[in-house]
A and B are shown apart, each in its own frame.
Chain A
Amino acid sequence: MGRKRFWHDVGRNRQAYLFVSPFFILFVVFGLYPIIYSFVLSLNEWNATKPWKFVGLKNYATLLLKDAVFWTSLYNVVYVFIINVPIMIFLSVFIAVALNNPARRHKDFFRIVYLLPYVTSVLSIAIVFFVLFDDRAGLVNLLLAEVGIPGPHWLSSASMSKISIDILITWKWTGYNMIIALAGLQSIDTQIYDAAKIDGASGFRTFWRITFPLLRPVIGFQFIMSTIGTFNMFTEPYFLTNGGPGYSSLSLVLYVYRSAFKFFQLGYGAAIAFLTFIVVLIPSVAQVRIWAERDRTYSAT
């Protein structure tokens, strides 16, 4: 395309640029500028009152080499992620397969009930779970005591605090993932199943050999979104455990929040935020590529 032609096309599409401009203007002010600012700030020491002091990569060096709390919070997030994601994806696919059975009745009822947690705020639910999982007098442990099981210290022991967060996240997001899995199942051509039936394949075999491989893109989406969600979690530990006991359920974002807005170590907080950004960059780039790819095939048709 010649340069003249290019500017001609630009001029002819003035309206289009005007239409997309609000997003990009807002992005520059409330997205790009803060990110650059955040990076510059992370190279400084600043406690909100004294002037900035340039320290180079010192904040990052401290974080990676000396700060045990940072590594604990990263470990916590990975721990929550490893327990939660396989269980949640398995449950969501299991429920979706059960609901996709043509013989199943009351499908709409189950879909609605399972999606209720998705529309409710994390905050309200975290508070309800805080009450339900109270060590001494919460309903969960009272019920366990009824059947003779000593209830664990769900929220006040380092071994259980992360598990409790997992329970909360699984409760909140299984329905959402189930809807996605169900949409994936419904896009599978039913003729494949008829063929499998004729070949005499068992239900289990059909699932592993046909359904599961065809669901792989869907599970990929669930996996990426769960990764990003878990690494960015804040409200769940804030209400359920406040990161404790000790630092046993501190999340990365909660650590950013504390450093910056409780202890006013703004440069240091910016450095933690930037490191978490780099951690979620990989799954994010993967998802954006999938979206962009799909978009290309889709705008071509």
Chain B
Amino acid sequence: MVRKAIVTILLLAGAVIFVFPFYFMLMGSFKSNAEIFSMQILNLPAAGFNLQYYIGLFGKSAFGRSLINSSIVSIIFITLIIFFSSVAGFAFAKYKFPGRNVLFVALLATIMLPPQVTYIPLFILMTKLHWVSTYQALILPRLLQGFGLAFSTFLMRQYMSYVPEEILSSARVDGCRDFRIYRVIVMPMVKSGLLVVGLIVFMDIWNDFTWPLIAISKLDMYTVALNISRLFGTQREVYWGQVMAACFMSSLPLIVIFLIFRKTFISGITAGAFK
């Protein structure tokens, strides 16, 4: 009994530690520097819930523009990943073509490729193509990094393999073409898999920092992450309340989506680790 109580207290203490930085971010976004760097951070904001820092963000710091950029990049990125990974996952799960296993292991191996090996040549390539500070620079090379196309294909293949063989063969007998089978029959059956891939990939691209830092130099092409980095590091006087407001704004979409789809997120995490 005592032991159970101790474990409960420890779990609750852990919960406080895990939530506190979010509370700090939110409260900090209404506070002056003097309040943030003192015990007053624990109190409610002295000036009330004044939205001045949020308004300031959308004024001269071009935060709105970076939100639009991040959204455009995320939407195109997710669409491409969903399409490419589901067709490839379908082929890997349901066709016995020569070289399938070799190609699949090759695809798995690319997941482990540390992206820093490719950063320098990719930057040179972007320069040659005149792609520096463009959407395609943020999207196309990024398909190969992190939770990109390879990992998504790996996940999609697992979901595709649950599609019963009989349905596919009867569709073939009816004269259905391959792509039509994929589009009309298979896609509706793997909706949950598509959602898992979409969510994990969205989290990855929205939070990405290193590649945009290299690929983007023009301010009006900044992503949210780059804009926060600019507020944090390169201005003469840092308004911490404004930085906290930016951090909160960039975290909010993901937190909301996570709370809505928490089960899907959890199954996405475990699908990567196990079957």
Pick from B55-63, B71-79, B143-151 the stretch touching chain A: B143-151
Cβ-defined contact, B120 with A218, below 8 A: no
B235 CB to nearest A CB, Å:
14
B84 CB to nearest A CB, Å:
4
CA distance A221 to B15 in the complex (A): 25
| Given A124-B247, A266-B120, also A276-B112 (CB < 8 A) | no
Whether a CB of chain A sits under 8 angstroms from the CB of B167 is no
Contact among B114, B121, B225, B247 with A276 in the assembled complex (CB-CB below 8 Å): B114
CA distance A129 to B265 in the complex (A): 25
Contact among B38, B110, B266 with A31 in the assembled complex (CB-CB below 8 Å): B110
Contact among A10, A121, A256 with B97 in the assembled complex (CB-CB below 8 Å): A10
Whether a CB of chain B sits under 8 angstroms from the CB of A72 is no
Whether a CB of chain A sits under 8 angstroms from the CB of B135 is no
A36 CB to nearest B CB, Å:
8
Interface size on B, residues (CB 8 A): 98
Category for how many chain A residues contact B: 35 or more
CA distance A237 to B186 in the complex (A): 44
CA distance A268 to B115 in the complex (A): 17
Contact among B37, B124, B274 with A138 in the assembled complex (CB-CB below 8 Å): B37
List of A residues within 8 angstroms of B41 by Cβ: 139
Residues on B lying within 8 angstroms of A by beta carbon are 4, 7, 10-11, 14-15, 17-19, 21-22, 24-25, 28, 36-39, 41-42, 84-85, 87-88, 90-92, 95-98, 100-101, 103-105, 107-125, 140-141, 143-144, 149-150, 153-154, 161, 178-179, 182, 203, 206-207, 209-210, 213-214, 225, 228-229, 232, 240, 243-244, 247-248, 250-251, 254-255, 257-259, 262, 265-266, 269-270, 273-275
Number of A-B contacts (CB under 8 A): 268
Cβ-defined contact, B258 with A115, below 8 A: yes
- Complex: chain B residue closest to A36, CB-CB: B121
Cβ-defined contact, B269 with A127, below 8 A: no
- Complex: chain B residue closest to A291, CB-CB: B108
Cβ-defined contact, B273 with A221, below 8 A: yes
CA distance A121 to B146 in the complex (A): 14
Cβ-defined contact, A123 with B209, below 8 A: yes
Residues on A lying within 8 angstroms of B by beta carbon are 6, 9-10, 13, 15-17, 19-20, 22-24, 26-27, 30-31, 33-35, 37-38, 41, 95, 98-99, 103, 108-125, 127-129, 131-132, 134, 136-139, 142, 146, 171, 175-176, 179-180, 183-184, 187, 218, 221, 228, 231-232, 234-235, 238-239, 252-253, 256-257, 260-261, 266, 269-270, 273-274, 276-277, 280, 284-285, 287-288, 291-292, 294-296, 298-299
